[in-house]
Structure 1
Amino acid sequence: MQHIPGDAAPTEDITMSRIQLRNRGRILDAALEVFSKHGFRGATLDQIADEAGLSKPNILYYFEGKEDIHVTLLDQLMDRWLAPLREVDPEGDPLEELMRYVHRKLEMSQEFPRESRLFANEILQGAPRIGPHLKRDLHPLVERTAALIQRWIDAGALAPVDPRHLIFSIWATTQHYADFEAQVGVLMDSTEVHSGARAHLDALFRRMLTP
């Protein structure tokens, strides 16, 4: 393949894009660690740079500043966080669909504890950066899911509950294991936490929702 003068060599383009992708990933992973520990207000670019093993100017090559990094993480988080609720199947067995959602949310608290704390910190601050997502993405999704749950209740497939409070309860009981991980770790043997939580929440919600 002939190389046209003035054009970057194909191999160089690929190498540069891989380096940039890797560095961007390192920055976001480091920022997730820093933000989940210190919150947005307590985090600094210097801390993120130290955690990433990159210089502060290098961080600013990829992102405009701390808020840009934080918003990028929140954007990624919302897609991941809402996926299990979007996957509730209106044609499936109502109780099993909701239990699958409970189990997946609990698994996510184990797999993504830093992301859960990032989200919790943002909400505790009044959702200044994630507010548009809550209105645009979360609100209509919760409305649709609540309407679906109500249809299942009206059809006699589920015991009567308030659909929105049910969703809130699922969030509270599953994400607790991520957001209060340090406390849970002191109070329980870590090897038993998630297996015990799964059995407990399964019994709790099945008892609540079985007609």
Structure 2
Amino acid sequence: MVNKGSKKTKQAINREILESRILRSAEIIFAEKGFSGASMERIAERANISKQNLIYYFANKDLLYKRVLQETLGAWIDKLQLLELSEADPETSIRHYVKAKMQLSRDYPYGSKVFAHEIIGGAPVLRPYLVSDLKPQFERDIKVVNSWINKGFINKIDPAYFFFMIWATTQSYADFSTQMEILMGQSQLQEESYSRAERAVTELILHALGASKK
């Protein structure tokens, strides 16, 4: 057993780097081709490794797809915890929350698309994790928003739909980026586009909640 204070070996670090490269490559292939259209050969080629090396890390496409979804959901849940762990006022907490969700759309657009396809398909792989991991966090965050309402910090709303609205809005900048690029005359959404979107979404939500100090 490795002590918590011990440093990672160079081999462990290299393994993590390669696994990350494989997962990012798999995200792209699954997002572009769907699960049925993706292949281990395509993913290996994208990751610039041999198929044999890929299989050493992930024995088959099913395992790789499951891992991509778990990684995406894990990153999402980490951001969800911002409200639960925050001791800041509602305005500051919401600003940080929207910013974090927008960053996920900007930094992991392909992972978001894979996640969306899985949900649209009825979540056959993710359903157990949505129940065991996402739902408890969701319920904790609802309690946070309800506490703001009870203290008179924000207007009375349905907390569940408050979160659904934020998720739908921020994830659109990943899942429907092509539509936005066409309408905005961009070949790819630029950093300024995400910044403007973050400001617009945040201000709309804060004003609707009566939580903005501006």
Question: Which one-letter code corresponds to 1:206 in the other structure?
Answer: L
Alpha carbons of structure 1 residues 60 and 204: separation in structure 2 relative to 1, 3 Å: same
Q: How many angstroms does 1:75 deviate by?
A: 2.0
Structure-1 residue corresponding to 2:42: 47
Q: Write the deviation string for residues 88-147 of structure 1: whole angstroms up to 9, x where unpaired.
A: 145320232122211211122112211211211111121111111100111011111112
Which structure 2 residues correspond to residues 167-206 of structure 1 after superposition, within 5 A?
Answer: 167-188=163-184, 189=186, 190-191=189-190, 192-206=192-206
Aligned match for 1:133, one of 129, 151, 176: 129
TM-score relative to the length of structure 2: 0.84
Counterpart secondary structure, 2:122? coil
Counterpart secondary structure, 1:87? helix
Alpha carbons of structure 1 residues 15 and 109: separation in structure 2 relative to 1, 3 Å: closer
Q: Distance in 2 between matches of 1:170 and 1:119?
A: 16
Structure-2 residue corresponding to 1:5: none
Q: Write the deviation string for residues 175-207 of structure 1: whole angstroms up to 9, x where unpaired.
A: 100111111111114444212212211221011
Q: Which runs of 5+ in 1 are unaligned?
A: 1-13
Alpha carbons of structure 1 residues 151 and 44: separation in structure 2 relative to 1, 3 Å: same
Alpha carbons of structure 1 residues 53 and 86: separation in structure 2 relative to 1, 3 Å: same
Q: Distance in 2 between matches of 1:148 and 1:18?
A: 38
Q: Please say if residues 145 and 159 of structure 2, whose CA atoms lie closer than 8 Å, have aligned partners that are also in contact.
A: yes
Corresponding position: 1:112 with 2:108? yes
Which structure has the bigger radius of gyration? 1
Corresponding position: 1:59 with 2:50? no
Q: Which runs of 5+ in 2 are unaligned?
A: 1-8
Structure-2 residue corresponding to 1:157: 153
Q: Distance in 2 between matches of 1:69 and 1:34?
A: 11
Question: Which deviates more from structure 2 when the two are superposed, residues 116-125 or residues 191-200?
Answer: 191-200
Q: Distance in 2 between matches of 1:180 and 1:22?
A: 29
Q: How many angstroms does 1:46 deviate by?
A: 1.8
Q: Distance in 1 between matches of 2:78 and 2:10?
A: 33
Question: Which one-letter code corresponds to 1:42 in the other structure?
Answer: G
Corresponding position: 1:27 with 2:27? no
Question: Which deviates more from structure 2 when the two are superposed, residues 95-104 or residues 171-180?
Answer: 95-104
Question: Which deviates more from structure 2 when the two are superposed, residues 103-112 or residues 83-92?
Answer: 83-92
Corresponding position: 1:70 with 2:62? no
